[in-house]
Structure 1
Amino acid sequence: MTSKTSGPIPPGNPTPQQPGSPAVKKVTVDDITESLKAGFSDFLARPVMSGFFGLFYAVFGILFVWCLFWLGKIWMVIPAAIGFPLVAPFAAAGLYEMSRRLQQGKNFGWSEVLTVMIKQRKREMGWMAFVTLFILWVWFYQFRTVLVIVLQDSSFSDLNGFLNTVFYTQEGWTFLAIGTCLGAFLSAVLFSVTVITMPMLLDRDIDFISAMLTSIRVVLESPAVMLAWAAIVAVTMLLSLVPAFLGLIFTLPILGHTTWHLYLRAVSPAEG
């Protein structure tokens, strides 16, 4: 594991934290690279099982967008496509369990992995899911608010009309500028509170607030590297949506497995 520190702290030691809170480490580019390699290795170890989670996520995305068309909510297609990847950390819980068992050398089948969320129902992951969905709701709400304020005199009855309004009018450019800034802020908030929270909740007996605070400390400890990781995830997920969400069959599992290994590198092992 590659880790850098500065000041009087000996190299390799985690940054001191308050007693009782998980200690975090600096994350380097090498950590990202090695985590990606380990994530890809986990995917190859169980490609069918890993791909199942990606397929399930992709199918859900397709049905979600289809429902928006069916309900006539054309304006929601763009925020849905952009915001959809924000819930990926929660959707990848089964992938974290797979990586954990592969790392420990344990045998496992479909039942152990598919029931991981049920087994977590008495722990804190349900609350974290609520936080994730709440931020996603705020994302849709702010998009709708900006849409009404900026494009109040515009009308569109289909997706092409909506896209033409957004990309080929001055009001549309204003809408994109404001929406992009707000969306980037919400994405940064959600990334900071979830980047290693889900794996930690699966791995440790810890409350979701402490897990979120630890996730934020990881980001603050290595802001440039974690920003680079956020960019990798965002670009990869968005490109995966282009071929009718089907790219997620491969990218979601690899990123999910990678997140597990990044969590192990970013947070010191629990004592005992």
Structure 2
Amino acid sequence: MPRTVNTDDFHKKHEVRDQDYAKTIPCNELSVSAPFHWLALGLHDLIRMPIISAFYGLCFTAASVAIVLLVQWQGTHLVIMPSLVVYMLIGPFLALGLYDAAWEREKGHKPSLFHSMKAIGRNSTSQWAFAVLLAVAMIFWMRIAALLHALYPSVQGAPLTDFAPFLITGSVVGAVIASIIFSISAFSIPLMMERRVDVMTAVFTSFNAVKSNIPAMIVWALVICGGILIGFATYGIGMIITMPILGYGTWHAYHETIKKKHNS
């Protein structure tokens, strides 16, 4: 027997706001000092969850060490960019475990390593799509870098002024691409995990949040870069500490920045 259409069905469907495709979820206004608060919360989570933090920190360390060893073994820096593409594919999934652990603590639950690992399967379609998007962006960056290489002086030992066109153009293009990648990825992964939104909603929401809070986001980007540089400068060992702190901090950044879902 056919089911009678109820007008309430349409109302209920409208209430599930996060299921709308390619929408932009509003964000809050942040202070410039907000990133330091997220960093402090991340450090607190690191202390409260040492086993989970150590596991994911070691995973990030292993990936970083593998890149360094691969460069040394090949004897060329040409393998760095392909390695970073792979890193961009696995990095978001490692971060998911950290986000889940911070989320569990936030809800008053006891975080577990097994539960955090299961977060990889939460909204996996959108998460994989986003990981591929990041990899494509890195490949595009590589191709742009190869084209800019044509600006190099053809004579060895050329004066610095001959390198100026390459250095200036490369720096500007690199800064623009890096800013775009950071803008679309700052809050995308935790948003997809918690609310199970589609990848375009996550990208649009993250970009809007960064655009609306540029000063705070510049500080947060510098903090992230600093943590990653410390990790690579210590041959990956520092990432045992820096990456969990940044991962937990990103979760707190997401929760403070993106407006909560209202159930009416």
TM category, shorter:
0.7 to 0.9
Structure 2 distance, partners of 1:53, 1:172, is: 41
User: Which AA in structure 2 matches 1:136?
Assistant: M
Give 1:221's match in structure 2, choosing from 200, 212, 219: 212
Deviation at 1:240, TM superposition (A): 2.3
Partner of 1:183: 174
Deviation at 1:154, TM superposition (A): 6.8
Partner of 1:96: 99
Give CA-to-partner distance per residue, 1:88-146, whole Å, 9 cap, x none.
5554111101100111111232211123213432x411111111111111222222232
Secondary structure of the residue that 1:124 maps to in structure 2?
helix
Deviation at 1:196, TM superposition (A): 0.6
Give 2:49's match in structure 1, choosing from 25, 39, 46: 46
Structure 2 distance, partners of 1:238, 1:171, is: 29
Taking structure 2 as the reference length, the TM-score comes to 0.79
User: Which AA in structure 2 matches 1:22?
Assistant: I
Question: Structure 2 matches for 1:186-225, cutoff 5 A?
Answer: 186-225=177-216
Structure 2 distance, partners of 1:83, 1:181, is: 21
Taking structure 1 as the reference length, the TM-score comes to 0.77
Give 1:133's match in structure 2, choosing from 132, 135, 159: 135
Structure 2 distance, partners of 1:125, 1:114, is: 14
Larger Rg: 2
Secondary structure of the residue that 1:29 maps to in structure 2?
coil
* Paired residues of 1:89 and 1:194 also in contact (CA < 8 A): no
Runs of 4+ in 1 over 4 A off after TM superposition: 79-90, 168-174
Deviation at 1:238, TM superposition (A): 1.7
Give CA-to-partner distance per residue, 1:221-245, whole Å, 9 cap, x none.
1111111211221123123211112
Secondary structure of the residue that 1:92 maps to in structure 2?
helix
Structure 2 distance, partners of 1:86, 1:226, is: 20
Pair 1:119–1:225, CA change in 2 (3 A): closer
In structure 1, the gaps of 5 or more residues are: 1-19, 156-164
Structure 1 distance, partners of 2:231, 2:167, is: 22
Partner of 2:9: none
**When the two structures are aligned, how many residues end up with a matched partner?**
240
Partner of 1:254: 245
In structure 2, the gaps of 5 or more residues are: 1-22
Deviation at 1:33, TM superposition (A): 2.8
Partner of 2:36: 33
Pair 1:138–1:154, CA change in 2 (3 A): farther
Partner of 2:232: 241
Give 1:105's match in structure 2, choosing from 103, 108, 111: 108
**Once superposed, what is the RMSD of the aligned Cα atoms?**
2.8
Partner of 1:58: 61
